[in-house]
Amino acid sequence: MLNKNLKMTGDVQDNNFFALGRQVTIEYYECGATAFLDADRVENALLKAAKDSNATIISSSFHQFEPQGVSGVVVIAESHFTIHAWPEHDYAAVDIFTCGDNINLEAAITSMKESFESKNVLISSDQNRGIISKPFAQQNIGQTLKHSNTHPISWKKDYEQKNPWGVLSSIDIYDSDPDIIRDADKIKQFVHELCDKIEMKRFGECQVVHFGEDERVEGFSMTQLIETSLISGHFANADNTVYLDVFSCKYYDPREVAEFAMSFFKGGHYKMQLALRQ
């Protein structure tokens, strides 16, 4: 639910203080399946939000990453709107910074919610920047960063800290090449190359079997035992989607697996979920 009571944070109530700017960070979850696949669409969404908020637009610059992802900035006279979007998680991180009181933040946030078709919006921070008064005592920067309450942004670091039994990644590759996913030998080739890439030792032969009398589920299913657990997948003919699972008690980089699978099966885009199994 969108918080409709956006307020300045911090203990800046004294009239002897004022702030040079206000910064709000917003998390957009459960967005539309195609909301972040096109940089132009994301750019238009931020430009619309800036316009709806009464900001004065100066310029914009957006970049489409390969195989997917979008980053961009809209420069406004009052400061900026920025975004980075992860299509594989239906998620975007947005930052609005303003040094003007005329910006309607609620209008901007709601505008992007509608453009991204987001079902879950969280205002993760709302803070004053550049508080002007008597000089503040300088904090110990190293200690402040070291002891701040943050989550790891590296999956490997998270894995090392939690020390789980194994890592499970579930990756869905959409709009894959129909000729590749209907070829058992190609699927076996993918498994062999993937195991080499993530340094997993195969145990036994890769099994690829055709299943499904029902057209909705028809396609090849694959299993490959590895010394550290299992790789499995189903290749759905109905919509040319690959459903891939990699489970291992040895660490591997899930994004490396997803991007290799995207490339091999010539997919349009992918979604990914990660679980650490305790």
For 187, residues 6+ apart whose C-beta sits below 8 A from its C-beta are 180, 181, 206, 208, 220, 222, 233, 235
Q: Evaluate whether 242 touches 170 at the Cβ level (below 8 Å).
A: no
For residue 107, with 0-12 CB atoms within 10 Å meaning exposed, 13-18 middle and 19 or more buried, which class applies? middle
257 in Cβ contact with 246 (< 8 Å): yes
Sheet of 219-226: strands edge to edge? 207-211, 219-226, 229-236, 241-248, 166-174, 269-277
Indicate which residues carry an active-site annotation: 79, 84, 99
Distance CA 220, CA 7 (A): 54
Name the strands in the sheet holding 91-98, side by side, starting at the edge strand that comes first in the sequence. Answer: 57-64, 70-76, 79-86, 91-98, 18-29, 120-132
Written as six digits, the tokens of 220 are 């090849």
Distance CA 148, CA 101 (A): 30
DSSP at 137: P
